[in-house]
């Protein structure tokens, strides 16, 4: 492990970056970190033994507090290594290629880290030739997590959650961050706070956004849901299926015609 001599005065927040042979993406992430108006955080980089010049880039970056470069079993194994090294009360995962939305993100976020277990904001999603701001719901439900998630790079996670509920489950190669959020928010009902800020900029051309991986994503999600929710998932899905049937009936021409005739059963 490499440690720089620069010491932070406040470890309220640790930002963790994982990287593997993505020097170009790492350069963008480092530039985003360096550009922050508030530098009062701990910064850690976990590299998977890159051979593309990433190590030299880390060696020549003075504001990295700790970094390692060694083999790992995947992105979530690397993120778990970052958790083990971090000293902050809150953790933010800004992986190689990710960027903070603008230079004031950390300055604006610090006063809002007020003790809740999960504090999440919004994302700028970037494709090759376009982008959009993705706004997450203020209320997170089981239904939301069945099909969606919250952004790992726009979510501040209180570090003691990993001690209490476990690290990222590396059996899931693509959705372990979704699995962690679903477990602690839905199953364990930890405290959650939404902040309306745009926190991160996410490259939508990455692993979890690749259509080739959709089948594996769905398979891993089903595996997790069966493991942690069992028969309750069956009950919920049956309820949702019934609601969808009712909605289709209500929107049908026959339903509207009977209602227009004043048939009370359909009022």
- The answer to the question of residue 215 being in a domain is no
Q: For position 125, which CATH number holds?
A: 3.90.550.10
pLDDT confidence of residue 209: 53
The C-alpha atoms of residue 264 and residue 245 are separated, in whole angstroms, by 20
Q: What is the Cα–Cα distance from 151 to 177, expressed in whole angstroms?
A: 9
Residue 235 belongs to a domain:
no
42: helix, coil or strand?
A: strand
Domain span at residue 191 reads: 2-208
Query: Within a domain: residue 247?
Result: no
Residue 250: its pLDDT value, please? Answer: 64
Position of tokens 């990455």?
A: 206
Residue 203's pLDDT is what?
86
- C-alpha span between 201 and 199 (Å, rounded): 7
pLDDT at 241: 63
Q: Are the C-beta atoms of 179 and 152 separated by less than 8 Å?
A: no
The answer to whether position 223 is within a domain reads: no
Number of domains the chain is built from: 1
As a whole number of angstroms, the distance between CA 258 and CA 264 comes to 9
d(CA 192, CA 258) in angstroms, rounded, equals 45
Angle at CA of residue 192, ends 110 and 156, nearest 5°: 40
Three-state SS at 14: strand
Look at residue 97 in the predicted model and tell me its pLDDT.
94
What pTM value is reported for the model? 0.85
Structural domain includes residue 17: yes
Please give the sequence-ordered ranges of beta strands (E in DSSP) within 159-262, or none if there are none.
Answer: 192-203
- What is the longest distance spanned by two Cα atoms in the chain? 80
Residue 250 placed within a domain? no
The answer to whether the CB of 198 falls within 8 A of the CB of 133 is yes
> How many Å apart are CA 178 and CA 183, to the nearest integer?
9
Tens-level pLDDT at each residue, the chain (267 residues): 666 545 544 479 999 999 999 999 999 999 999 999 999 999 999 999 999 999 999 999 999 999 999 999 999 999 999 999 999 999 999 999 999 999 999 999 999 999 999 999 999 999 888 999 999 999 999 889 988 999 999 999 999 999 999 999 999 999 999 999 999 999 999 999 999 999 999 988 765 555 567 889 888 988 998 888 887 776 666 656 666 676 676 666 555 555 565 555 444
Q: Is residue 80 part of a domain?
A: yes
Quickly count: other Cβ atoms within 10 Å of residue 20's Cβ.
22
Q: Which two tokens stand for residue 154?
A: 């726009």
> Measured between alpha carbons, how far is 82 from 152 in angstroms, rounded to an integer?
14
pLDDT for position 5? 44
Within a domain: 239: no
d(CA 50, CA 58): 11
Neighbours of 141 (CB within 10 A): 10
Distance from C-alpha of 265 to C-alpha of 224, rounded to nearest angstrom: 42
- pLDDT at position 229 is 85
For 16, the 3-state DSSP assignment is strand
């Amino acid at each position: 492990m490499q440690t720089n001599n620069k010491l932070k005065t406040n470890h309220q927040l640790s930002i963790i970056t994982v990287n593997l042979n993505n020097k170009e993406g790492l350069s963008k992430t480092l530039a985003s970190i360096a550009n922050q108006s508030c530098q009062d955080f701990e910064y850690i980089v976990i590299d998977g033994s890159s051979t593309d010049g990433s190590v030299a880039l880390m060696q020549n970056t003075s504001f990295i507090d700790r970094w390692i470069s060694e083999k790992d079993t995947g992105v979530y194994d690397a993120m778990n290594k970052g958790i083990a090294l971090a000293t902050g009360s809150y953790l933010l995962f800004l992986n190689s290629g990710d960027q903070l939305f603008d230079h004031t993100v950390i300055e604006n976020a610090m006063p809002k880290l007020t003790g809740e277990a999960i504090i999440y904001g919004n994302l700028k999603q970037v494709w090759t030739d376009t982008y959009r701001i993705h706004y997450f719901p203020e209320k997170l439900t089981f239904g939301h997590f069945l099909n969606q998630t919250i952004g790992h790079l726009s979510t501040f996670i209180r570090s003691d959650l990993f001690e209490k509920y476990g690290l990222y489950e590396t059996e899931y190669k693509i959705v372990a961050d979704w699995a962690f959020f679903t477990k602690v928010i839905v199953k364990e009902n930890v405290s959650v706070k939404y902040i309306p800020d745009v926190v991160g900029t996410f490259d939508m051309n990455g692993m979890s956004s690749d259509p080739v991986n959709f089948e594996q994503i769905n398979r891993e999600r089903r595996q997790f849901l069966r493991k942690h929710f069992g028969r309750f998932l069956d009950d919920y899905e049956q309820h949702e299926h019934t609601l969808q049937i009712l909605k289709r009936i209500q929107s049908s021409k026959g339903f509207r015609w009977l209602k227009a005739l004043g048939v009370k059963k359909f009022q």
